[in-house]
A and B are shown apart, each in its own frame.
Chain A
Amino acid sequence: MKYLYYPGCSLKGTNRAYEESVLAAFQALDLEVEELEDWNCCGATAYMAVDEMKSFALAARNLALAERQSKADGPTLIAPCSGCYLVLSKTQHYLEEYSEVSRTIDGALQAAQLNYTRKVHVRHPLDILINEIGVQTIAQRVRQPLAGLKVACYYGCQIVRPYAAFDDQVNPTTMDRLIRALGAETVDWPLKTRCCGGSLMGTLQEVGVPLSYILLKEAQKRGADVVATACPLCQFNLECYQDKMSRQFKERIEIPIVYFTQLLGLALGVPERRLGMHRLLVPFHLLHLRAARGGAHAHA
């Protein structure tokens, strides 16, 4: 089965390592992925603040394009970015629940020579990997187990809230299960869905920095070597402001922030460069980490 893939703006820009690693990891698992043609911005949270109906219209265009492009009756559209995943899912919920939204959006699509028959399944890559491929299949494909690595799995907010379509809202576990299937350990970390500050990091840094700092301080305290994320904005916030956090809170915050797909790719034996590892500002190299610990399986 071929999946349609919706990258969204961020995966083509600052966070292209997410796109690189999603595509490379899926390919390593022999999953066929095809980019949605001429996709547009989902509208993100910011559009809802200005004109919610237009944000639904923008999202609906992508859904309509997905139906047109796919030969399948109910195509699956993969959205790795949490923001895109939320907006596309929310639009589907609103089209379903509120006739006023449904009527307006159908009319707008028609005016743009489009049509959406509500058949697209919007899914997050974590959902596909755990609930469709399964951890056992993935574990069998592991070529380079991540033994000894301690990972804090960070889900962020918008893939489980408000809809929680594939995981628990309060204590999600899909990423933890995936990471353990790769041979790594996951640390018990209660902040896995606490807000990183989102776009406030760009607009009100004095508010954004403490929010992200709380997450990283706790991850370090619990002995994590690395934080795995599932959202471009979370990755950016947690990684790019570590020097500011260190200065402001007078303690050393230095921990690599990677996409869960990068860890998956490494375990499947994909070369680092194809996973965009060279784009990290806080470098992460499995071999260095093991050498520092004095052996592949030695850990405290």
Chain B
Amino acid sequence: MSEWQSWPRFRYEAELDLRFPEEVASMPGGRALFACIQCGTCSGTCPLSTYMDYSPRKIIAMTRAGFKDEVLRSFTIWLCASCYACAVECPRKIKITDFMAELKQRAIQEDRDPKRFPVAVLAREFFNAVRKRGRSTESRLVLRLYAKTNPLKILNQARLGWRLLRTGRFGLRAESVRNRQQIEQLLRAVDAAKAITLVDKLAQKVARA
């Protein structure tokens, strides 16, 4: 792919979502985003930037400019392997890895994550398994991932699966915490706290209007 194709499509200013940068910056420590000097150290450090549709530096620039749809639909955010190399090197101390995680969350919430794209599918499957049982079982997770993305790939992995089975590294028994109810109470309480924060924000808006 030649480089120009990965540039954001031409946009009129009216098409941009100027609330987007503010929304993203509301994450813990998120204001640092506005301190970015576009030096490109993140893109240069990232071992995955060659595979990305937009480099990490571009994602930051596009977020600040309001290219919400392009950013949330990008593959870049799902290619971040969370190795924190960029975050450590950033001269403005921007938590770039956490920023990528924030964008992943927003993409899922707004249903703009690429469908059947294995990274996003894995995140969702993992999330659901841990919510239900408190622990994840690798073997089951992998099987669900293949079932939901590309079932034929299981064949490709058959030899590895057999070798893991032989060395006692592959078991299908589902792991679980004993106190599942406690996990449920804990996670439900987080949802409740979020709902309250949301209502508070709305109330403030109404009061100002």
Contacts and interface: CB of A to CB of B under 8 A. Distances in A.
Interface of A: 9-10, 12-17, 38-41, 43-54, 57-58, 61, 94, 97-98, 100-101, 104, 107-114, 157-158, 161-162, 164, 169, 193-195, 197-200, 202-204, 207, 211, 240, 278-281
Q: Which secondary structure characterizes the binding site on chain B?
A: helix
B207 interface: no
B190 interface: yes
Interface of B: 27-29, 47-48, 51, 79, 81-85, 87-88, 95, 97-98, 101-102, 104-105, 108, 118-124, 126-127, 130-131, 134-139, 142, 145, 160, 163-164, 167-171, 175, 177-179, 182-183, 185-190, 192-194
B119 A57 contact: no
B186 A61 contact: yes
Given A41-B130, A108-B189, A112-B189, A61 B183 contact: yes
A51 B47 CA distance: 25
A102 to B, nearest CB: 10
B130 A57 contact: no
Given A169-B88, A207-B79, 4 more contacts: A57-B190, A58-B187, A108-B187, A194-B47
Contacts of A193: 85
Given A13-B139, A279-B168, A195 B47 contact: yes
Contact of B175 (A12, A94, A162, A204): A12
Contact of A104 (B84, B175, B193): B193
A87 B59 CA distance: 25
7 nearest A-B pairs in the assembled complex, by CB-CB distance: A111-B189, A161-B84, A203-B118, A157-B83, A195-B83, A108-B189, A49-B104
Given A38-B177, A161-B87, A111 B82 contact: no
A111 B168 contact: no
12 contacts: A9-B135, A46-B123, A50-B104, A58-B130, A98-B28, A104-B190, A113-B185, A114-B186, A198-B81, A202-B142, A203-B121, A207-B51
A207 to B, nearest CB: 5
